[in-house]
């Protein structure tokens, strides 16, 4: 079955989907360069997204997920795709003559939380979040038990499994996902919770927070854009190498395996392709050691994240033209 077609879908409607995304990103960047929102406030907004807004929308998504046995294959596939980037990525960098210790962390993993959900929900609506949330489960396992461990090891030495597990279980996003999955597994859904005293007020609060997801995420992402000059050739090379690996892998995984081999509906293929064109995780520079010798490396990482985000937006715009609806 071919990918969804945009036949009969007006170009004006496509622009109406994509332009608000760019405008919100531009608003975030404008707030930073005008200094109306300083770095400290931007970081506070980021914490608000990660600790409150994202958990709200993810809990609502997973509690009404209706778990399917074939989701296991999807989770395993996405985890394997992340491992491929982890293994192949550094080899591509070495072949291209890029000798940057932290560049290997830019070749795998995807900024699902702070960009993927905002893009997907912005284009397809909040009702589409459960689809990309399921697709990203394997990615979240990879990030918290493999990628996160490697970041800590590069900075501080090898972390213990107990420390990783503690971070995993105390992360608000993970708590929201696990709580939603557990309730869904026991057949308890949002409608059931909304019939309980007190809990109904909590659910109403979560539903008020959920619509903040798209605008707040995109404004925060735009606020974090870094366009400082220097080493653009190296930045472009890293972005090009990552995309040269990820795009063919995304096409093969999304359409070849998820849709054709596993028989998932096209919306899951669109969600996986969206995930795999995203930039590397924005947490990478947070784990880089402090010090003057690390400043140049950190600036390089920030520039790669910014440039890749812009390229990802362009690719996603093309995807939206091909698959305007789910």
| pLDDT per position as a tens digit, 51-62 | 999 999 999 999
For residue 154, give Cα distances in angstroms to 101, 182, 235, 255: 9, 34, 21, 35
CA–CA separation, 157 vs 284, rounded Å? Answer: 16
Position 9 in a domain: no
Name residues whose C-beta falls within 8 Å of residue 45's C-beta, 6 or more positions apart in sequence: 37, 216, 219, 220, 223
Query: Long-range contact list for 312-320, CB < 8 A, 24+ apart?
Result: 312/115, 312/277, 312/278, 312/279, 313/21, 313/22, 313/25, 313/119, 315/247, 315/277, 316/119, 316/123, 316/274, 316/277, 317/18, 319/270, 319/273, 319/274, 319/277, 320/14, 320/17, 320/18, 320/123
Position 267 in a domain: yes
CA–CA separation, 91 vs 83, rounded Å? Answer: 13
**CA angle (146 as vertex; 145, 152 as ends), nearest 5:** 90
- pLDDT tens-digit profile, the chain (326 residues): 445 545 555 667 777 888 899 999 999 999 999 989 998 998 899 899 989 999 999 999 999 888 888 999 999 999 999 999 999 999 999 999 998 889 999 999 999 988 999 999 999 998 899 999 999 999 999 998 899 889 888 877 777 778 777 877 888 988 999 999 999 999 999 999 999 999 999 999 999 998 888 999 999 999 888 776 666 889 999 999 999 999 999 999 999 999 999 999 999 999 999 999 999 999 888 888 776 556 778 888 889 999 999 999 999 999 998 888 88
Count of structural domains within the chain: 1
Position 35 in a domain: no
pLDDT in tens, 278-326: 999 998 888 887 765 567 788 888 899 999 999 999 999 999 988 888 8
CA–CA separation, 201 vs 195, rounded Å? Answer: 10
Q: What is the pLDDT of residue 75?
A: 95
Position 99 in a domain: yes
Contact between 322 and 18 (Cβ < 8 Å): no
Position 189 in a domain: yes
Q: pTM of the prediction?
A: 0.89
Paired tokens of 119:
């893009």
Q: From the CB of residue 116, how many other CB atoms can be counted at a distance below 10 Å?
A: 27
Position 134 in a domain: yes
Main-chain dihedrals φ then ψ at residue 151, nearest 5 degrees:
-65, -45
CA–CA separation, 294 vs 300, rounded Å? Answer: 10
CA–CA separation, 245 vs 82, rounded Å? Answer: 11
Q: Would you say how long the chain is, in residues?
A: 326
Position 235 in a domain: no
Contact between 45 and 224 (Cβ < 8 Å): no
Range of the domain at 73: 51-214+240-291
Name residues whose C-beta falls within 8 Å of residue 131's C-beta, 6 or more positions apart in sequence: 120, 267, 268, 271, 326
Position 230 in a domain: no
């Amino acid at each position: 079955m071919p990918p969804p077609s945009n036949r009969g879908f007006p170009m004006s409607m496509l622009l109406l989907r994509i332009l608000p995304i760019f405008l919100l990103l531009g608003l975030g960047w404008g707030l930073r360069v005008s200094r109306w929102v300083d770095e400290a406030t931007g970081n506070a907004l980021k914490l608000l997204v990660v600790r409150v807004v994202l958990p709200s929308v993810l809990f609502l998504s997973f509690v009404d997920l209706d778990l399917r046995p074939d989701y296991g294959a999807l989770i395993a596939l996405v985890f394997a795709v992340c491992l491929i980037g982890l293994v192949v990525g550094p080899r591509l960098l070495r072949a291209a003559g890029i000798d940057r210790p932290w560049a290997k962390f830019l070749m795998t993993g995807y900024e699902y939380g702070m960009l993927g959900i905002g893009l997907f929900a912005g284009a397809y609506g909040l009702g589409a979040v459960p689809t990309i949330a399921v697709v990203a489960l394997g990615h979240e396992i990879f990030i918290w038990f493999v990628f996160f461990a490697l970041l800590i090891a590069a900075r501080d030495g090898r972390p213990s499994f107990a420390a990783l597990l503690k971070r995993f279980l105390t992360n608000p996003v993970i708590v929201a996902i696990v709580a939603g999955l557990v309730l869904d597994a026991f057949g308890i859904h949002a409608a059931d919770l909304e019939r309980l005293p007190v809990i109904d007020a909590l659910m109403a609060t979560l539903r008020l927070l959920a619509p903040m997801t798209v605008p707040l995420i995109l404004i925060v992402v735009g606020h974090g854009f870094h366009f400082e000059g220097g080493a653009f050739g190296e930045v472009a090379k890293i972005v090009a190498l990552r995309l040269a690996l990820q795009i063919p892998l995304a096409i093969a995984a999304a359409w070849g395996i998820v849709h054709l081999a596993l028989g998932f509906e096209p919306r899951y293929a669109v969600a996986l392709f969206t995930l795999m064109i995203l930039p590397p995780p924005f947490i990478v520079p947070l784990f880089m050691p402090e010090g003057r010798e690390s400043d140049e490396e950190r600036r390089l990482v920030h520039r790669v994240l910014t440039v890749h985000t812009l390229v990802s937006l362009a690719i996603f715009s093309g995807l939206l033209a091909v698959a305007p609806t789910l």
